[in-house]
Amino acid sequence: MSSAAEQEAERAVGRPAPHGEGHRELNGHHGRRGSPGGLRPQVWPGAPTPLGARFRVGPDGVAGTNFALWAGGAESVELCLFDAAGTETRLALVELTHEIWHGFVPGVRPGQRYGYRVHGRWDPWTGARWNPSKLLLDPYARAVDGSIGDGHSALPPQVYGHVRDWPQQQVADTVRDDRDSAPFVPKSVVVHDDDDWSDDRRPKTPWADSVIYELHVRGFTKLHPGIPEELRGTYAGLAHPAALDHLVRLGVTAVELLPVHQFAHEDHLLRRGLRNYWGYNSIGYFAPHAAYSASGTAGQQVGEFKRMVRALHAAGIEVILDVVYNHTAEAGERGPTLSLRGIDNKGYYRLQSDARRYADYSGCGNTLHVVQPQVLRLITDSLRYWVTEMGVDGFRFDLAAALARSMHDVDMLSPFLAVIAQDPVLRRVKLIAEPWDVGRGGYQVGAFPPLWTEWNDRYRGAVRDFWRGALPDVRDLGYRLSGSSDLYAWGGRRPYASINFVTAHDGFTLRDLVSYEHKHNEANGEGNRDGTDDNRSWNCGVEGETEDPRVNALRRRQLRNLLTTLLVSTGVPMLVAGDEMGRTQGGNNNAYCQDGEVGWIDWSLLEQPGPRGLLELARRLVALRHRHPVLRRRAFFSGRAQGADGLRDLAWFTARGEEMTERDWYAPTATLGLYLSGRDIPGRDARGAPVVDDSFLIVLHAGSRPTGFVVPGAPWAEGYEVLVDTSGEDQAGVPGRVHRGGTEVGVGARSVQVLRVTG
């Protein structure tokens, strides 16, 4: 013990002994205990696999559910069944096979609500936190019904394994709370998966052809006027034709859904009248978040999610899930006991040398112990389930570096990455890493293995800095626009390893990026301390909303510049829902707790000409990308001559029409042009024919004054057709303007031109 207070607590509480003797506890009722239907169910031995609750009809014709729970260090396990009135029946699982407690209960059918009570030692000093007074969610539950407490007020004290309000807070987590948590926690639900996916056609869009659209199920649909009110904010709402129409007309090939695993709201948010909106606080890795269901929460959410996936697939759109396997909603040692902590705390979580404390590489209080075989099994079983049973097409891994840690350091040969690489299901889906965590050595951009793509934050930084006039030179920008070969041209990786983005769910929206230089997160209730201060934004002269027409015109132009730059860059572009119409969060760059108008898309923006014009430009740019393989190359540029004409596949030009020299790369500049050759693009089409495309010149000018740019003449081009010019509000009349090669063309202040070579 390290302090007098801790010594006093040890004298008062006693060093816990096996079976919990000697601990100090708060006693409370254990709820109603009985037998649903009046007859106490039997428990047959059952099987240790598969884990979770599986309804089945045995060869003898008896229908029931097999329950299997891994609880490595537990002394005993009780299965708790709940009827519609909340009456609890406890059944001992006495069969133990390879640390898995299991039993088959005849008569238990889909829709049955259940949980577990796990018995063992209470000894937080060694990491043991078993407490049978706490009803626990099944880690393999395929549906979850109910909320913690009322879902709006502070978390009830009964949901904590320790006495939350113990007077000596520094040792509060060591004092066991024996009040029953069952009335205050959600229940697992038995679900029967019998869907036939044979009629589903996955789009299977190649990585190079992908355009990703990051969206929040609730935020995307909640205010959409074309979606019936009863479906807004739900999976069914996202499957509605009005939602699909927007996605299809925009041309995106995949939606990347913010977390849809069952998640919980943090106590500190509930106390401030807020909720976890984004969902990065998982508590059920197999269960679709019940609050996004329009059809019910007793298992109906599973079918509704599947119907959403089918509808998106039918529209040609893949479904990628943002998944959070680095931590859970149980937080640190003072967090609630909802599932894993009460099943086997030491087995599921990384603990410090002081086993009371948790290793925290997530910034959220705990980190899953992925090197433990059973934890790795939980994660990979979950991933396979979402692919094979729920129909999803890929995953974006939140703080993926935390999953790649072996003991302490990030290891690209870690068990997690090795298992993914050899798994016959998972190695074939789209895998996106957020390639960092908050621990030492956690920044791993460019380091993930060849199967993986990565969020490329260096692309984000370079593009933002260029358009706000903050780049000292354009060396880094050159790499980012052309696929980031300096990061990804190793081990067989391709340009599509780079997920290019200017904005994401965390940080400013695109409109706020050009409207604010400082975060305005006061509504989060944290004194504006939360959220990054490294925004790399420019407000165009006025902080926040303004009626100044010149400032607003400049902001609209900057939106066009950023959007155009993203969609003509080599790599895989990711758009954020609402950016294509200039959505704002009022300068909030950390809207994780803003489940309201700040976080939801305001579709009424499309009643204004500016947002409508931006959306139309986004559609044109995505369509341009789909039409031209030179904009979505499958191999890096070589910079060497291609074909008999001796022209390189990629060339860079100054405003004088001269190829850039080494001195030009190191000099400050606001203007550059990149020539993308469509001749002899590496690879073959689906029929084995060579890929040949138009060639393009893209001119970027971040200067505050108009300039001239000499477009390269022969042998590069005889002429050019202007396809996009962001300097003007009206884009309808842009296509069709032509220029002869070797002539100087006018380029508006802070603008992009996309020109197609015509001869």
Distance linking the first and last C-alpha atoms of the chain: 81
Q: Is 520 helix (H, G, I), strand (E, B) or coil?
A: coil
**Under a CB-based contact definition with an 8 Å cutoff, are residues 115 and 69 in contact?**
no
Q: Is 182 helix (H, G, I), strand (E, B) or coil?
A: helix
Q: Is 659 left (phi over 0), alpha (psi -120 to 50) or beta?
A: beta
Amino acid in the structure at residue 491: G
**Under a CB-based contact definition with an 8 Å cutoff, are residues 440 and 455 in contact?**
no
304 part of the active site: no
SS3 track for 353-388: CCCCCECCCCCCCCCECCCCHHHHHHHHHHHHHHHH
Q: List the structure tokens of 217.
A: 């199920």
**Considering 88, 123, 333, 434, which one is annotated as catalytic?**
434
Q: List the structure tokens of 532.
A: 């990054």
Amino acid in the structure at residue 66: N
Residues counted in the chain: 759
SS3 track for 673-740: EEEECCCCEEEECCCCCEECCCCEEEEEECCCCCEEEECCCCCCCCEEEEEEECCCCCCCCCCCCEEE
434 part of the active site: yes
Q: Tell me how crowded residue 733 is: count the other CB atoms within 10 A of its CB.
A: 9
**Considering 266, 398, 454, 580, which one is annotated as catalytic?**
398
Cα distances from 140 to residues 189, 625, 700, in angstroms, run 10, 41, 51
Q: Tell me how crowded residue 278 is: count the other CB atoms within 10 A of its CB.
A: 22
**Under a CB-based contact definition with an 8 Å cutoff, are residues 255 and 318 in contact?**
yes
Task: Count helices and strands (H / E) in the chain.
Answer: 17, 35
Amino acid in the structure at residue 497: A
- Strands of 488-584, DSSP E: 498-500, 572-576
**Under a CB-based contact definition with an 8 Å cutoff, are residues 247 and 561 in contact?**
no
Active-site residue set: 398, 434
